[in-house]
Amino acid sequence: MQTQRVMDEFKNEPFTDFSVPENAAAMEAALVKVKGELGREYPIRIGGEKLQLDSKFQSYNPSNKSEVVGIFSEVDSDTTLVNRAIEAAAHAFESWKKVSPANRAEYLFKMADLMRQRKHEFSAVMVYEVSKTWAEADGDTAEAIDFLEFYGREMLRWSEHQPLTKVAGEDNRLEYVPLGVGAIIPPWNFPLAIMAGMSVAAIVAGNTVVLKPSSDSPTIAAKFVELTEEVGLPPGVLNFLTGSAATGEAMVTHPKTRFISFTGSKGVGLHINEEAAKTRDGQKWIKRVVAEMGGKDAIIVTDDADLDSAAAGIVSAAFGFQGQKCSACSRLIVDEKVHDELVEKVVSLTESLRIGQPTEGDTNVSAVINKRSFDTTLNYIKKGAEEGGEILIGGTGDDTNGYFIQPTVIANVQPGATIEQEEIFAPVLAVIKARNFDHALEIANDTEFGLTGAVYSTDQARLERARHEFHVGNLYLNRKCTGALVGAHPFGGFNMSGTDSKAGGREYLLQFMQAKLVSQRV
């Protein structure tokens, strides 16, 4: 494959304005089309071979829990398939690593072109499979397109001549070479964007991968794999397995796995890091782990803030996609002088949110991902009340047909309380009253996480102080703490939030390459 493109400057994919009638009609048509495909069976793929196993599992619609979205082979029933997949990836690596960076990037650009043409169909799959609203699904698809475009350009940049200090009589060259076979284990909450970004970043850098999506969101991953085949990605470059944690464990511990790229919970991420650190028979390298593991993100509102702007940002960050974002605002830390006024505004905006089916264009909040999340969230809400919190709105759920939880605001939460410290990953906002800005920063930093945070203030001195003292990987001033854009907001956190690998940033591809220096006397 030869690239003939003249690269323009990277620009983020625009979000769809569904208030435009033709855009809404296009989305409705996509939903009808995708609904007609629900219940289809998708094979695993190893080295270009498609396989269907006798042991299967199903992906369900969280908002209509009896509706089957896709049927998949359960690889856990035959873990020898993990070895086959990794061997296939290892075999493909020997040729793929020799493909020029420009040609590898061209596959990404072609995938971006096709995804852009079918944007609403990809979004519609996520509406059914993970209960994303129209806007949330559209944002997910746009981010996937951004990753394809951005990482393709980044590989071209890293393949250019690298500056070195001149030495007389020597020809010195530094180049970045791929690592080998990678295990890609993405989450369900951004099941297209993060899954695609993790996969293609490794691939465009010259690696081959084994992809195992979350068992809550395998259908959108299968659709993406079909796209890679459509553009002619060589067999074995991306191998596709479906199964539970046992499949992922086998991928992580295999001696021919060179690196693991993971996004998910802190507990699983720490376990992967521990297992990757162990050297197995036949292993010739120290495995590299790229991990993004969540957060307990806070928005601070000072006594001089624009409260209307702050309230809008808080509600959007707390309850967008049902709070199921690692960047979601789960803690509101507010100066006591404006506490009551701000909380009243937050509750009022929360009351205006429409809870319903994600297939309906005016829905703001839909179902959480599964029964376990539903039960765990209600237990956290109960715990919050038991520890002295006051439920101002929400606090209840209904799992009759789907896993719906009312957006919940809990006031009078004390620093150190369970719901102030532990990641809930649901539409629950804990409100903590601070004495002043010093106290607010102290509370904000007093968790084991450090992913995102935000400060609303009209005092530039306070914002500058937050810039230096608020210990998070992504800090936002006078805007919400969600909505990172590829290229503009490289994403990743500190402490137990992960390895701060900065997805969507200029350094991200370095996670999947190593530098080789060749010096020749001339």
CATH value at residue 380:
3.40.309.10
* Mean pLDDT calculated for residue range 491-505: 97
Q: Are residues 113 and 258 in the same domain?
A: yes
Tell me if 170 is assigned to some domain: yes
Say what the pLDDT of residue 77 is. 83
- Count of all residues that appear for the chain in the document: 522
Tell me if 21 is assigned to some domain: no
Tell me if 493 is assigned to some domain: no
pLDDT in tens, 331-379: 999 999 999 999 999 999 999 999 999 999 999 999 999 999 999 999 9
Q: Are residues 313 and 456 in the same domain?
A: yes
pLDDT in tens, 61-83: 999 999 999 999 999 988 799 99
Q: Are residues 186 and 313 in the same domain?
A: no
Q: Are residues 172 and 206 in the same domain?
A: yes
| Residue 459, helix vs strand vs coil | coil
Phi, psi of 22 (to 5 degrees): -70, -30
Tell me if 3 is assigned to some domain: no
**Beta partners for residue 355, in sequence order:** 365
Q: For residue 15, how many other CB atoms are within 10 A of its CB?
A: 12
Q: Above 70 in pLDDT, residue 1?
A: no
Say what the pLDDT of residue 3 is. 44
Domain count, the chain: 2
Query: What span, in angstroms and rounded, lies between the C-alpha atoms of 437 and 54?
Result: 60
Q: DSSP string covering 112-174, please?
A: HHHHHHTHHHHHHHHHHHH---HHHHHHHHHHHHHHHHHHHHHHHHHTSPPP----TTEEEEE
Query: What span, in angstroms and rounded, lies between the C-alpha atoms of 208 and 509?
Result: 14
Q: Identify whether the C-beta of residue 131 lies closer than 8 Å to the C-beta of residue 181.
A: no
Query: What span, in angstroms and rounded, lies between the C-alpha atoms of 438 and 465?
Result: 10
Q: Are residues 204 and 250 in the same domain?
A: yes
Q: Are residues 112 and 175 in the same domain?
A: yes
Question: 79: exposed, middle or buried (C-beta count within 10 Å: 0-12, 13-18, 19+)?
Answer: middle
Q: Please give the DSSP secondary-structure letter assigned to residue 503.
A: B
Q: Are residues 425 and 339 in the same domain?
A: yes
Task: Supply the range of the domain harboring residue 141.
Answer: 34-293+501-521
Per-chain mean pLDDT for the chain = 97
Q: For residue 388, how many other CB atoms are within 10 A of its CB?
A: 11
Tell me if 28 is assigned to some domain: no
Q: Are residues 287 and 326 in the same domain?
A: no
Q: Are residues 346 and 440 in the same domain?
A: yes
Q: Above 60 in pLDDT, residue 113?
A: yes
Say what the pLDDT of residue 483 is. 97
Q: Identify whether the C-beta of residue 339 lies closer than 8 Å to the C-beta of residue 433.
A: yes
pLDDT in tens, 146-193: 999 999 999 999 999 999 999 999 999 999 999 999 999 999 999 999
Tell me if 71 is assigned to some domain: yes
C-alpha torsion sign, points 23, 29, 31, 34: negative
Q: Please give the DSSP secondary-structure letter assigned to residue 179.
A: -
C-alpha distances in Å from residue 483, one per residue of 127, 202, 438: 18, 24, 27
Q: For residue 162, how many other CB atoms are within 10 A of its CB?
A: 13
Say what the pLDDT of residue 5 is. 59
Q: Identify whether the C-beta of residue 456 lies closer than 8 Å to the C-beta of residue 308.
A: no
Hey, what are 510's tokens?
């370095």
pLDDT in tens, 181-208: 999 999 999 999 999 999 999 999 999 9
Tell me if 100 is assigned to some domain: yes
Tell me if 15 is assigned to some domain: no
The residues annotated with a catalytic role in the active site are 292, 326
Which H or E run includes 25?
Answer: helix 21-35
Q: Are residues 144 and 109 in the same domain?
A: yes
* Mean pLDDT calculated for residue range 216-233: 98
Q: Are residues 247 and 364 in the same domain?
A: no
* Mean pLDDT calculated for residue range 413-439: 98
What's the CATH code of the domain at 133?
Answer: 3.40.605.10
pLDDT in tens, 272-329: 999 999 999 999 999 999 999 999 999 999 999 999 999 999 999 999 999 999 999 9
Say what the pLDDT of residue 235 is. 98
Q: Are residues 436 and 476 in the same domain?
A: yes
